[in-house]
Chain A
Amino acid sequence: MWGGRSPRRVPLLRVDEAGLADRGRIWLLEAAHVLLAVPSSLVFVLIVAGWPTATVGVGFLLLHLAVPSAARLGRVHRHLAGLALHRPVEVRDHQRPRERGAALLWGGPLTWVQDPRRWLDLAFAAFAATGGLVMSAIVVALPAGVIAHVVLPFVFPGLWWMVLLIPLDLALWWILGPVLCTARAITTLAMFGSSRTAQLERRVAAVSESRAETIDHSAAEIRRIERDLHDGAQARIVSLGMNIGLAEQLLHTDPAAAAALLAEARQATTDALEDLRGVVRSIHPPVLADRGLAGAVEALTVQMSVPVITTADLPDPIPAPIETAVYFAVAEALANVVKHAGAHQAWVRLEHRDNRLRTQIGDDGTGGASLDGGSGLAGVARRLRAFDGTLDIDSPAGGPTTVTVEVPCASSSPKT
């Protein structure tokens, strides 16, 4: 779930050049682990020794030396685990001591004790110096078996049968290397916060953030609608009432003036309706209510100055809020195609599979689109985040551009 991409697996039973390169990489990684075991054990010992001796002052110095080192070692280990699994690893910051200056000397350790991540650093230093070291050492040492079984028969001709063990050595090395390396990397990541709790913590943080954004967005949206109605339609209808009232008075004394006022009043109704239509469109485009997403997107493309090919594969109904968000995403992307891309042809593909609504908008234009610089698409991406949706832009300079919008949506679920 979190992080999305699953680690790349090294095929264990396939023997080829790429596999050999993988084994080489793994050997180097594990060699680095073996080397790191030395500082790890040192740091562990220093921290363990630091706490009891803190009472006499020396321990404070030991802790200030060892605890940050443990954190640094932890980072290096996580980085190595990321390399082993071919996936990005997030590194979260430790809690910062609040004290400054001399108070930091004893205030720092106080913060460290309360930070669960510091305890993980310590536990990991222990693991790197013991079980982890064993795992890595096996991987590093395995090729030595091959060397031994080549060299020994040369030195002691009586041990010629050892040559027969070489294929076994090679097979062990080929298979155990990736297995142990992956196991170690997974252990590292599990200890360092890929645990279920940590995942949920991050998920909650992400949800809270997107909820805050959504609330901000909705509040701003309501203010905008209120302002539009107040300054637009409402004001026009007031002036309309005034003009009709005035016309009523003038009807008998000055019919010509009354007629002019009535004509003005009629124009005001048209303008008021136009304002109201604008507001309605910005909230929920009527065509979307009439035709659903596929029809609404088609209605959008009909009025484009660039020919647009639309394909839709939407077997199930889509929840209305998601439909609206995706519609505005497509509208924004298509508007960008017209404004910036200089394209001759564009396409929109709507697909609803495996409880995901996937929408792609592409063009054959000049490319170079991005989410930076306060573009409309950045706003759309924020809006989509409220639904756990994502917006990706693939737009190399020179084109072509593809905007991909993905929103999880279980259409059959009654909850959504």
Chain B
Amino acid sequence: MRVVLAEDLALLRDGLIRLFEAHDFEVVAAVDNARSLLETLDAKDADIAVLDVRLPPTFTNEGLMAAVEIRHRRPAFPVLVLSQYVEQLYAKELLASGQGSIGYLLKDRITDVRAFVEAVQQVAAGGTVLDPQVVSSILTRAQHEAPMERLTEREREVLGLMAQGRSNAAIAARLFMSEKAVGKHTNSIFTKLDLPQAADDNRRVLAVLAYLHHD
């Protein structure tokens, strides 16, 4: 799998390159700013872009803007955004297109190498991966709201893990239930949230969006 990396801190950039290469990813390019990232993506073929939210010159949210821009140029191109802190608002903006292939993670999650690599693969495969911190804040908020109240405690747990980009198998292992039971729960979630029949991955995105867009 070919990865394009945008991270302005050399230390972290080198670490990520090493991490990717150790897991049989090919790092096509590693740049330190958003403009080079966009140029690289135009010039080279890649499967996923991994980028930092804060990039030069202003070190505010160029990464986020770049992610939105990339998706504007190439809809549904997999983008994983890493950040020193996570904001529900940013997750909402990233997911706005409703097309999946989006990841938004705290930089801390890199330390759990296996989970991080899985997340990259999930996003590249069209899935949605939100940081557990975003998910938990959404879930706390969602508990007070009407459509979410229809979900059982168990279903909310499943949806939470789903929003973190876990597969049914991973959810089953985490919650100590059979994969079949997870499938039943997800179907019931889709029904309760009135989500249209579509590819399963996309419905997972929509379920997460249903949380985020619930105003």
Contact = CB atoms under 8 A, between A and B. Distances in A.
Interface of A: 266, 269-270, 273-274, 277, 280-281, 286-287, 289-291, 295, 298-299, 302-305, 307
B60 A270 contact: no
A270 B108 contact: yes
Contacts of B107: 273
Given A302-B88, A302-B92, 15 more contacts: A270-B111, A273-B107, A273-B108, A277-B85, A286-B85, A287-B85, A287-B87, A287-B89, A290-B54, A291-B60, A295-B89, A299-B90, A304-B141, A305-B140, A305-B141
Interface of B: 54, 60-61, 84-85, 87-90, 92, 106-108, 111-112, 137-138, 140-141, 143-145, 215
Report which residue of B60, B107, B145 has the largest number of chain A beta carbons within 10 angstroms of its beta carbon: B60
Contact of B87 (A269, A270, A273, A299): A299
A281 B84 CA distance: 11
Contact of B137 (A286, A289, A303): A303
A266 B61 CA distance: 27
A304 B142 CA distance: 10
B84 A277 contact: yes
Contacts of A281: 85
Nearest to A300: B89
Contacts of A303: 88, 137-138, 141
B88 A299 contact: yes
Classify the interface of chain A: helix, strand, loop or mixed: helix
Contacts of B111: 266, 269-270
- Residue of A269, A281, A286, A305 with most chain B CB atoms under a 10 A cut-off: A286
B68 to A, nearest CB: 14
Nearest to A298: B89
* 7 tightest Cβ-Cβ pairs between the two chains A and B: A299-B89, A305-B144, A290-B60, A290-B61, A302-B89, A270-B108, A303-B88
B215 A307 contact: yes
A281 B87 CA distance: 12
11 contacts: A270-B108, A274-B108, A277-B84, A287-B85, A287-B89, A295-B89, A303-B137, A303-B141, A305-B140, A305-B144, A307-B215
Nearest to B109: A270
Nearest to A272: B108
A9 B157 CA distance: 66
Nearest to B143: A305
B62 to A, nearest CB: 10
Contacts of B144: 305
Nearest to A289: B60
Contacts of A302: 87-89, 92
Contacts of A277: 84-85
A199 to B, nearest CB: 43
A274 B108 CA distance: 9
Contact of B84 (A270, A286, A307): A286
Nearest to B137: A303
Nearest to A287: B87
